[in-house]
Amino acid sequence: MSRQLSQQEIDAVFQNMQDHKREVPAVKFDFRRPDRIPKSQVRAIHLLHDTFVRNLVSSLSAYLRSYLTVNLVSVEQLSYAEFLDGLPSPTCIVSLGLSPYDGNGVLELNPSLVFPIIEMLLGGTGKSSINIQRDVTEIERRLLDGLFRIILQDLREAWKAVTSVDFTIESMETEPQLLHVLAPNEAVVSIGIEVRIGETVGMMNIAMPSIVIKMMRQKFDQQWSMVRKTQASESEQARILRVLRRATMSLEARMEGTTLTVRDLLSLREGHLLTFDYPVDRSVELVVNGARKFTGQVISTGRKRGCQVELVRPTADQGRIKDERSGDGVEAA
């Protein structure tokens, strides 16, 4: 027999459903950062600046004539205001042109690096423990021009893997808040690089506008596809090499001397004497699976004879190319 539910029972059912309802977390969206780039592109920028850091170690070591280490510390997305807030004041900060793209980047060198480097450029050791906190003078800026040229040249070479960007210095400031090249809420990709010269440690910071990097998205995708193809090709070559390592080949040492005509060969009878006239100091040919690969000398190894490799012979294709360049027109063996 059916019965009607009371209002209290109906309210209890709905209350039970609300208690068991899974809460969906709300995701906050920051409308002040419309130009953020995907994480895959951030990883690509990280790999790109790994190359930049490796090249910069050798370039700066040669320029400063001192051993140093350079490490990539971080690649992250920030607002331009947050990037500036993380910089010391005063410091050495420059505005970078990004031709052919519109917009500007930023390159900053901490004072803990700038003044030891200036001391080294003037013939000092750069090991002074004095922490200098002042503005860079006009003369010191001129001394830093060569340093910035080297840094920007390595930066151009690293970015060539994606696209050609002509990094140029447009202006230099000592107070970060005075460099108004981007809007405070504009998103940038911040690259933090640690530089260590002896006991001196400092940071070099680079900021690239996210909107400019978003314009390069297709070029980044092309770079990743090329990297994947290269990795696949290298892995396939390594796999084939592993398989071939277990293969066996025949190796012969040939002492080629006197030649005979077919008439003389057919007239040979028992008792005939053949002289090969092969000098002891003449090299012998080592033949691998019928192809001449090495040239060597016969030596004694205990009670046995062996052959010591002296020369690796070029392949047939290499010999043919060489003869074609020389104009002889003779195919090498």
Q: Which regions of the chain carry the CATH code 3.40.1550.10?
A: 39-221
Residue 193 has pLDDT above 90, yes or no: yes
Q: What is the mean pLDDT of residues 235-250?
A: 79
Torsion-angle region of 112 (φ positive above 0: left; ψ -120 to 50: alpha; else: beta) = alpha
Name the superfamily (CATH) of residues 39-221.
CheC-like (3.40.1550.10)
Per-residue confidence at 230, pLDDT binned at 50, 70, 90? low
Residue 150 has pLDDT above 70, yes or no: yes
> What pLDDT does 297 receive?
84
Residue 12 has pLDDT above 60, yes or no: yes
> What pLDDT does 199 receive?
82
CATH class of domain segment(s) 247-326: mainly beta
What CA–CA distance (Å, rounded) separates 109 from 112? 8
> What pLDDT does 155 receive?
93
Q: Which regions of the chain carry the CATH code 2.30.330.10?
A: 247-326
For 115, which DSSP code?
H
Of 209, 204, 226, residue with least CA distance to 44: 226
What CA–CA distance (Å, rounded) separates 12 from 171? 70
Beta strands in 238-330 (DSSP E): 251-254, 284-288, 291-301, 304-312
Q: What count of other Cβ atoms lies within 10 Å of the Cβ of residue 63?
A: 16
pLDDT tens, 22-33?
A: 555 565 655 555
Cβ 118 vs Cβ 159: under 8 Å: no
Of 183, 193, 118, residue with least CA distance to 151: 193
Residue 327 has pLDDT above 80, yes or no: no
Q: How far is CA 6 from CA 14, 189, 253, in A?
A: 13, 62, 106
Cβ 92 vs Cβ 113: under 8 Å: no
Q: What is the mean pLDDT of residues 126-135?
A: 74
